[in-house]
């Protein structure tokens, strides 16, 4: 692992990062993504990322959320609802539970997807893969009482 990546993982595991990042990173991602017409996502310099467009669970309006993702063989994506180790589930997970049909912007292309909340053995396999991909997820899980939600997004 390159030294810069190790430092980034250590920094992203701190409580300060958990307080600040949810307010700064998504706003920067949305602005840069819009200005580059979907071709650049700043946070993707750290981890692969998508812009998820899901229907709001309460509002029924489209909600655009930049998210780190784990691309999988076969063209699906794993999304981890870690919320940076904060106590509550991120809003986008509730949106997907109520409205699983969504869209991702991936490498400048808009792709219709269907989200599926993972459970049981399938979740355990995905969780192990997520931890191997980005070890700070273990710190986030240890910090909260809730089980972090994992979703698989598959092309429609």
DSSP tag of 135: T
d(CA 136, CA 120) in angstroms, rounded, equals: 22
- Where in the chain are the domains? 3-155
d(CA 125, CA 122) in angstroms, rounded, equals: 5
CATH of domain 3-155: 2.30.110.10
At 16-37, the pLDDT tens digits run 776 777 767 777 767 776 777 6
In DSSP notation, 18-80 reads HHHHHHHHHHHHHHHHHHTTTS--GGGGTS-EEEEEEE-TTT-SEEEEEEE-EE-TTS-EEEE
d(CA 109, CA 107) in angstroms, rounded, equals: 6
**75 confidence band (pLDDT: 50, 70, 90):** very high
> What average pLDDT does range 57-66 have in this prediction?
96
At 95-145, the pLDDT tens digits run 999 999 999 999 889 999 999 999 999 999 999 999 999 898 999 999 999
Break the chain down into helix, strand, coil percent, rounded to 5: 45, 30, 30
Contact 43, 94 (CB under 8 A): no
d(CA 17, CA 15) in angstroms, rounded, equals: 5
């Amino acid at each position: 692992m390159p030294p810069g990546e190790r430092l980034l993982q250590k920094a992203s595991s701190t409580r300060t990062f958990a307080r600040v990042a949810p307010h700064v990173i998504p706003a920067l991602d949305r602005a840069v993504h819009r200005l580059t017409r979907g071709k650049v996502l700043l946070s993707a310099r750290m981890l692969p990322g998508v812009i998820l467009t899901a229907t709001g669970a309460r509002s029924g309006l489209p909600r655009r959320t930049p998210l780190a993702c784990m691309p999988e063989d076969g063209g699906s994506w794993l999304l981890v609802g870690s919320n940076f180790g904060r106590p509550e589930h991120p809003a986008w997970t509730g949106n997907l539970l109520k409205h699983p049909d969504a869209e991702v912007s991936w490498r400048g292309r808009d792709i219709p997807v269907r989200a599926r909340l993972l459970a049981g053995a399938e979740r355990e396999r995905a969780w192990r893969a997520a931890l191997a991909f980005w070890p700070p997820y273990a710190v986030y899980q240890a910090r909260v009482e809730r089980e972090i939600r994992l979703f698989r997004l598959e092309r429609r």
